[in-house]
Copies of this chain bind each other. A is one copy, B any other.
Amino acid sequence: MDRKEFRDLASPAAAREAIRSLALEGGIDRVSLENARGRVLVTRIDAEIDVPGFDRSSMDGYALRARDTFGADEADPARLELVGEVHAGAEPDVELEEGQAVEISTGAVMPSGADAMVPVERTDRASGEATSSDGDDVLVRTSVAPGDNVMFAGADVAAGERALGPGTQITPREIGLLSALGIDEVPVRSKPRVGIVSTGDELVRPGEELQSARGEIYDVNSYTIAAGVEDAGGEAVVYPHAGDDMDEMERLLRRAAEECDLVCSSGSTSASAVDVIYRVIDEQGELLLHGVSVKPGKPMLVGRLEGSAYVGLPGYPVSAMMVFRTFVAPAIREAAGLAEPETATVAGTMAIRERSEQGRLRLAPVGLVEDGDGGTLVYPVDKGSGATTSLAEADGVVEIHPDIDYLEEGEAVTVSLFSPDVRPPTLFGVGEDDPAFSRVLDSLSNPRYLSIGSRPALRRLREGVPDVAVVAGPLERAVDAEPLGTWSREWGLLVRPGNPDGIEGLADLVDRDLRFINRTTDSGLRASLGADVAALADRRGLERHDVVGSIDGFDLGLRAHESPARKVIAGEADAGLGLRSTAERLDLEFVRLGDQEVRLLATPDRLEKPGVRELEDALDRANL
């Protein structure tokens, strides 16, 4: 096997600098005001008109000459002759002379000759006899000064004024100002086009059929990076898979480079694909950087191809997203003219000790949980580099300096949230994968629950990380926790519809040639099964391991509660360990072995946490 080695890893700062040097630069779009929200102005906008464009009455009332009201008050009103009216949106057809008034609506044009207005509330109407007019007179019960209750032309914005500067991001407020100026189209920065190329023979697009036997997996990076690009203000173009065919891959990279400002490939996990991409960039483009001293993300490529910028991301989804977020998203935001988001950071303390690897900057995804005192506990989320779900279970990232090999429990850390609107969960639970409890979770506002099994859940509870743990089956060790509730569930063997093998209980698995699928030792179901096996061994006067040895498949434990049932459906086993509710849901036959108590336990100092209280209420309502 011949593999590129990364001997001289670049520093993270050098990687940032290399990407900056690519000088992503968008062009200019002209967008209508309706589509301008969130975009960034390229040029300054000056007012071309006065706003308002005329002297405007600020209220409903009467336009008049201020000097005609001098000395007027409640007791001694000024009497003016009413000579007409002006409505909003109409041109005044009257010119005002001394001693006259014109009825005027809010927003209407002040008639010529008027220099102030009086709101209707400070006036009365009277017959016009006193001024010998045919119509009414107006009694004005207050004095006003010239300009009172009039908004003069240009008072809001005057023609020629600098209205908005270049680089302004357009929010509803700027849309208000642009509307007022009559501007219905603005020049904005183009969104940088980012082409996304995923390579690998094993990748299948979501929605298509997967052949697991061939080692196919769904392509996670394409849509995820695309969403990240759009979050950063870019326009994502997802290209079809290249597979591992070298010529096709090269053709696709070139096409993407021609059509986009930046190309992000996410490396196939196969060595050959990485090599092809490396060769294409190195020989036909320009390679600026290969390998960065960061974990995850070591195999990063930065370069140029066909005049476009190119960044090669790792193939593993978590690594790809972490590298994208740290190095690529800032460059896209800059090209889009968007400010870096306000640093959304949270100060917390490590809930447990976390080991790091010296020599590389570590970007560690972490989850957050509020402890009993309102402090923030930070725990690492790490399901291995191949995992795709880690990020959905994390809230942000802790950067661990290359010189540090441990973060100690209780150590203060700063978490950079994935985005400023990340809301850490209101409740953090771990434990048994239980269908009834899953339904309870659905009614909570923002829970996080990790189905890690009963045994690990107790360990996590002892470490003081989660708020609650759900445990089932016989448990060997006590833990300092507050019981919040219990319910029971029927467990047993799940067999094919109609029970063709006539399985009646555990003894059949021991005595007959049947293929069984077990759950992992982490699960409470496995613990209950273990107890039954021990009892059977007792009854038969055998050692436990002799009984276990007679059950084909006892040692192969699957993690999730439905997995054994699915193996039975797939014909890979005759019986699987599971729950009655699962059998019913999947139309399997259920051979009951017993009832099992499921317990909800809370970390003692979290009982007053709103999320824990919400869970208690939901549990009461659910009446399991």
Contact = CB atoms under 8 A, between A and B. Distances in A.
Interface of A: 1, 3, 33-34, 37, 44, 47, 49-54, 56, 58, 60, 86-91, 103, 105-109, 120, 151-167, 171-185, 200-208, 210-220, 222-228, 230-231, 238, 244, 268-271, 315, 317, 321, 339, 341-342, 383-389, 391-392, 394, 418-421, 423, 433, 438, 441-442, 444-447, 449, 451, 558-563, 565-566, 582
Nearest to A51: B388
A181 B559 CA distance: 17
A562 B562 CA distance: 75
Contacts of A207: 33, 182-185
By Cβ-Cβ distance, the 5 closest A-B pairs, closest first, are A160-B562, A158-B560, A184-B207, A53-B212, A89-B202
Given A86-B215, A105-B269, A156-B387, 6 more contacts: A51-B389, A165-B444, A172-B231, A176-B224, A184-B205, A420-B420
Contacts of A203: 89
Given A154-B563, A173-B418, A385 B58 contact: yes
Contacts of A60: 1, 3, 271
A271 B1 CA distance: 83
22 contacts: A37-B231, A47-B560, A89-B203, A89-B270, A105-B269, A109-B214, A155-B383, A155-B384, A156-B388, A158-B563, A159-B566, A160-B561, A165-B442, A172-B224, A173-B392, A175-B224, A176-B389, A176-B391, A179-B224, A180-B217, A182-B210, A341-B421
Contacts of A558: 154, 158
A97 to B, nearest CB: 19
A189 to B, nearest CB: 15
Contacts of A268: 88
Contact of A162 (B385, B441, B566): B441
Contacts of A37: 227, 230-231
Nearest to A184: B207
Contacts of A202: 88-89, 107-108
A interface secondary structure, majority = loop
B388 A180 contact: yes
A343 B508 CA distance: 62
A158 B562 contact: yes
A586 B103 CA distance: 38
A386 B87 contact: no
Contact of A217 (B107, B161, B317): B107
Contact of A120 (B3, B177, B421, B444): B3
Contacts of A173: 224, 321, 391-392, 394, 418
A469 to B, nearest CB: 16
Contacts of A174: 392
B269 A154 contact: no
Contacts of A211: 91
Contacts of A103: 1
Given A167-B446, A210-B53, A228-B172, A218 B179 contact: yes
A144 B174 CA distance: 63
A341 to B, nearest CB: 7
A386 B185 CA distance: 24
B317 A180 contact: yes
A324 B392 CA distance: 34
Contacts of A162: 433, 438, 441, 449, 451
B160 A566 contact: yes
Given A1-B103, A202-B107, A161 B560 contact: yes
Contacts of A231: 37, 171-172
B386 A159 contact: no
Contacts of A166: 442
Nearest to A273: B88
Contacts of A153: 212
Nearest to A449: B162
A433 to B, nearest CB: 6
Contact of A421 (B1, B47, B88, B420): B420
A200 B106 CA distance: 11
B423 A339 contact: yes
B447 A214 contact: no
Contacts of A384: 58, 151, 155
- Which of A53, A166, A203 neighbours the largest number of chain B CB atoms within 10 Å of its CB? A53
A167 B445 contact: yes
A90 B160 CA distance: 69
A173 B385 CA distance: 15
Contacts of A224: 172-173, 175-176, 179
A345 to B, nearest CB: 13
